[in-house]
Structure 1
């Protein structure tokens, strides 16, 4: 614990993320405005304090990025189907999340793909996980970054979103640790979001 607690830029980044996401989830009517602004702040903070890492070829990050984004969506689709079949109470939470936070107009979709999905990867993998990896081994840095990523979703008040953040965060953290390529993970996240919110929404 003391290793990364001494990293002031890391701690400040975590605090800023929690503050911004707290306000993001506070009011549905301004959610997309605050979320977009929050991601722009976190992108700027990440770029200022960490170099962008890309150790994969263009072919690699497109092919693996698309395949992993598709695979992650299939995993979520299967989970949603099981929840529906077993009539688990989480069904209402999924529907509520879509009604509260899904993109509705064209600029929502644009910022989702161009700012929010890339921004989450810039900050949580390209900054948080990368800095944790300077203090810990790969497994510990992955575990801590996933916990931190999931923790800001607590402000939504929805357990299902926290669980989704744990699963997706784990997939993207492992992918980043494996390929050391931020563009690859961004492609994966964008493909996943396009399927989840545009082409094949679960609700």
Structure 2
């Protein structure tokens, strides 16, 4: 069996994601422009190389998506509460991250919902994780894909973001493996982000 490390499409996609995310986080002034462009490129790359899975009915993926997105946010909310309660160093990181990267204009929210959230799930779960599953057991593919997803977030310069990405990547990776539906994980990610940035911001 061919090793995943020799899957050229997988490796090129991963390196492309790193290149795009490096430039995305490089300049705060163009962050939202670059993030949108990066996700459009990664969506295109994914669709050209893998089919998009959707093995759930609309009712099923909406129900599981809504519930799972809320559950993940609740976990993050509890974690942030403990960070503040214990006065851990991460509390300042959360505040700085919100100030630098949180959506601030209407078009930020529009591209977040229509491009960025779908793009992250289509690429990281629907392409990276799906291709890894061809070479390694399910658990390993979930963990590897989550670590790869986490790695591009180090360019932000705030340690709290890679940690959050790792937890999110593991959660959505398991959800994708379990239900085999990209729309489901997109809904889950969308609900999580709406709570995070609109309904109950953590800062």
Indicate the residue corresponding to 1:163 in structure 2.
163
Indicate the residue corresponding to 1:72 in structure 2.
72
* Separation in structure 1 between the aligned mates of residue 115 and residue 196 of structure 2, nearest angstrom: 17
Which secondary structure does the structure 2 equivalent of 1:147 belong to? helix
Indicate the residue corresponding to 1:177 in structure 2.
177
Query: Does 2:112 correspond to 1:112?
Result: yes
- Pairwise CA distance, 1:58: 1.1
* Separation in structure 2 between the aligned mates of residue 111 and residue 201 of structure 1, nearest angstrom: 19
* Separation in structure 2 between the aligned mates of residue 165 and residue 98 of structure 1, nearest angstrom: 15
* Separation in structure 1 between the aligned mates of residue 174 and residue 75 of structure 2, nearest angstrom: 16
Indicate the residue corresponding to 2:4 in structure 1.
4
Indicate the residue corresponding to 1:53 in structure 2.
53
Taking structure 1 as the reference length, what is the TM-score of the superposition?
A: 0.98
* Separation in structure 2 between the aligned mates of residue 40 and residue 158 of structure 1, nearest angstrom: 24
* Separation in structure 2 between the aligned mates of residue 187 and residue 3 of structure 1, nearest angstrom: 32
* Separation in structure 1 between the aligned mates of residue 54 and residue 137 of structure 2, nearest angstrom: 20
- Pairwise CA distance, 1:95: 0.2
* Separation in structure 2 between the aligned mates of residue 99 and residue 6 of structure 1, nearest angstrom: 40
* Separation in structure 2 between the aligned mates of residue 198 and residue 43 of structure 1, nearest angstrom: 25
* Separation in structure 2 between the aligned mates of residue 169 and residue 138 of structure 1, nearest angstrom: 14
Taking structure 2 as the reference length, what is the TM-score of the superposition?
A: 0.98
* Separation in structure 2 between the aligned mates of residue 40 and residue 170 of structure 1, nearest angstrom: 23
Gaps in structure 2 of 5+ consecutive residues: none
Gaps in structure 1 of 5+ consecutive residues: none
Matches within 5 A, 1:10-159: 10-159=10-159
* Separation in structure 1 between the aligned mates of residue 124 and residue 153 of structure 2, nearest angstrom: 13
* Separation in structure 2 between the aligned mates of residue 149 and residue 195 of structure 1, nearest angstrom: 21
- Pairwise CA distance, 1:167: 0.5
RMSD: 0.7
Query: What number of residue pairs does the alignment pair up?
Result: 202
* Separation in structure 2 between the aligned mates of residue 159 and residue 105 of structure 1, nearest angstrom: 25
- Pairwise CA distance, 1:184: 0.4
Matches within 5 A, 1:188-199: 188-199=188-199
- Pairwise CA distance, 1:142: 0.5
- Pairwise CA distance, 1:76: 0.5
